Amino acid sequence: MQQQVFPVLGDEKELPLYVIGIGVEYRQFPINRPSGYEFPQFLITRRGAGKIVINGTEHELTKDSVCFIPAGCPHSYQAVSEPWVLNWVSFSGYESASLLEKWGLNHFAVHGGADRMQRIIGKAYYTIKSDKLYGNHYASVHLYDLLIEYRKLADNRQSELSSVNTAALADVLQYIEDNYFQQIKLSTLSDIAGITEQHLCRLFKRNFRMRPMEYLAKVRIQHAKEMLVFSDKSISEIAETVGFPDSSYFSAVFKKYEHIPPVEYRSKL
């Protein structure tokens, strides 16, 4: 049974993300949009197969593949193996365009392995159907989950070395967590990862929007915050314990990230 819904929108338009239309187990008919569609959309093939034409090029849409079509992108699609059954969603929100651009996802693409995205769309659909008043508000959370999952799929396919990069990054993160209190150099981290310092910095920038040594500083600050709350150690003792060379430098870094000095942070608790 075909199921789709286009929610009546009220204050949902003030949300960072909200559903425009959504469907599950939807048997897709041919679509031709020479001027594109007003909103970005995901099409996930559940059964059968389809094809989409973008800029004169055909792309096959097979089982468990996800197709992302940006807003305003001219396209047409149709089934090539009946029945072509989709889970799909179109969305908007004041953060939708900026998130897609920030994550480098604001372009047409097709990726495989979208079974989890398929389930997320199902959750969002039934959330909207089961709660007429607040369903689309709750579905906003599912949209964030959907975009994060899509980002993971896209990241895994943007580099042939993605699995190697992931393993290298995991080794470095574990080393930092186990040794944050020691004096750690960037060269040490790159040696652990087995890649150059420049490559390691690119990995951190892509995944965390920061360089490795900034990540290390933030880990130290997080541990320092725990000590400020749960211990009676002095500021200088905490600074030394988490790996800062002196309390003045520790206080400066703490204020940079927490916007208040450590003494004031402790006094507010």
Q: What is the pLDDT along the chain (269 residues), one digit of tens a residue?
A: 558 999 989 999 999 999 999 999 999 999 999 999 999 999 999 999 999 999 999 999 999 999 999 999 999 999 999 999 999 999 999 999 999 998 889 999 999 999 999 999 999 999 999 998 899 999 999 999 999 999 988 876 555 446 667 788 999 999 999 999 999 999 999 999 999 999 999 999 988 889 999 999 999 999 999 999 989 999 999 999 999 999 999 999 999 999 999 999 998 76
Q: Where are the domains of the chain?
A: 3-158, 163-267
Listed in sequence order, the residues at least 6 apart from 165 whose beta carbon sits closer than 8 Å to its beta carbon are: 159, 203
Q: Would you list the DSSP string of 178-211?
A: HHTTS---HHHHHHHHTS-HHHHHHHHHHHHSS-
And the tokens for 76? Answer: 């047409």
pLDDT of 160: 45
Whole-number Å distance between alpha carbons of 262 and 248: 11
Superfamily of domain 163-267: Homeodomain-like (1.10.10.60)
Cβ(27)–Cβ(73) below 8 Å: no
- Same fold for the domain at 3-158 and the one at 163-267? no
And the tokens for 207? Answer: 């995944």
CATH class of the structural domain 3-158: mainly beta
pLDDT of 163: 66
Q: Give the residue carrying structure tokens 């003494």.
A: 263
- Residue 188, judged by CB atoms within 10 A of its CB (0-12, 13-18, 19+), counts as middle
- Residue 89, judged by CB atoms within 10 A of its CB (0-12, 13-18, 19+), counts as buried
Taken in order 15, 16, 21, 24, the sign of the CA dihedral is negative
